[in-house]
A and B are shown apart, each in its own frame.
Chain A
Amino acid sequence: MSDPMRIRAQVAGDKATVRVLMSHEMETGLRKDGAGKVIPAWFIQEVTAQLNGKNVMTAHWGPSVAKNPYLQFSVKGAKAGDKITISWTDNKGEKRSDEATVS
């Protein structure tokens, strides 16, 4: 099972800055292992963000996003105490969802 994300959501004016770290290999499928065998692609394809359960952003990623991905964006109108949920799905169909409270 994958490790939890680290989500920080901090109010800045009339919005909240959301910073997310995800634990993922983001393997390109172009690399070879020590024995010369291609390491299969394995990467997060879709990331969604919800504010109090309502979808506010969807991102699609390719394998060139760096390992253990970082994402930063701002949610308008988010206040302290609001819930930010980040979810991802990778190309193997694995998924993970974590929540943070805006502070």
Chain B
Amino acid sequence: MTTRRQVIFRSAQLGAMLATLGLLPEAAQAQATYNAGAFEAKTMPELMKALGASAPVESKDVTITGPDIAENGAVVPIGASTTLPGVKRILLLVEKNPSVLSALFDVTDSVDANFSTRVKMGQSSNVFAVALMGDGKVLYAVKEIKVTLGGCGG
């Protein structure tokens, strides 16, 4: 039986190997490598530690979008954005998932700090949009999304 940890570990090794061999696209190499530890974090503090970031502060300048109720936890549309200048990274978190971090976006000057995707949610939970700023500040917005039991349940 292969555990998830092993798979990620192996794939990180594989990624490093491919990078060494020059097999990864140049663009990818220029960016930070996949932080497996961050995607293993169970809580927000654990995640911030793995990312080497400070404790997050709630901010009105960060926006989290998503439905109040998700008809199905398998696909929940969420988005994170901020209009603040100097943002380096945007994170999307689901508090009650086995690992809190769903997605991380490295922001460049060429894109808006505004990303939408769809995540899986095992149960009703708070979801967070977190902005890692250039000056080291960590800002967040939070919203609760209820996951309902749809269909006949059979």
Contact = CB atoms under 8 A, between A and B. Distances in A.
A and B in direct contact, judged by CB atoms within 8 A: yes
Interface of A: 15, 26, 28-30, 37-38, 40-41, 45-46, 48-51, 54-67, 69-77, 87, 89, 91-93, 97
Interface of B: 1-4, 7-8, 11, 14-15, 18, 24-25, 27-28, 30-32, 34-35, 38-39, 74-77, 79, 94, 97-99, 101-112, 114-121
Given A60-B35, A62-B103, A89-B24, A51 B115 contact: no
Given A66-B119, A89-B24, A76 B35 contact: no
Given A30-B98, A48-B28, A89-B24, A71 B119 contact: no
- If over half of A's interface residues share one DSSP class (helix, strand or loop), that class is named, otherwise mixed; here it is strand
Nearest to A62: B39
Contacts of A45: 11, 15, 34
A58 B90 CA distance: 11
14 contacts: A28-B120, A29-B7, A55-B108, A56-B108, A64-B97, A66-B74, A66-B118, A67-B120, A71-B115, A73-B114, A76-B111, A87-B28, A89-B24, A93-B11
Nearest to A19: B116
B115 A59 contact: yes
Contacts of B107: 57
Given A56-B111, A59-B106, A64-B99, A71 B116 contact: yes
B27 A73 contact: no
B117 A70 contact: yes
B105 A59 contact: yes
Contact of A55 (B14, B30, B76, B118): B30
B110 A77 contact: yes
A58 B117 contact: no
Contact of B28 (A15, A46, A64): A46
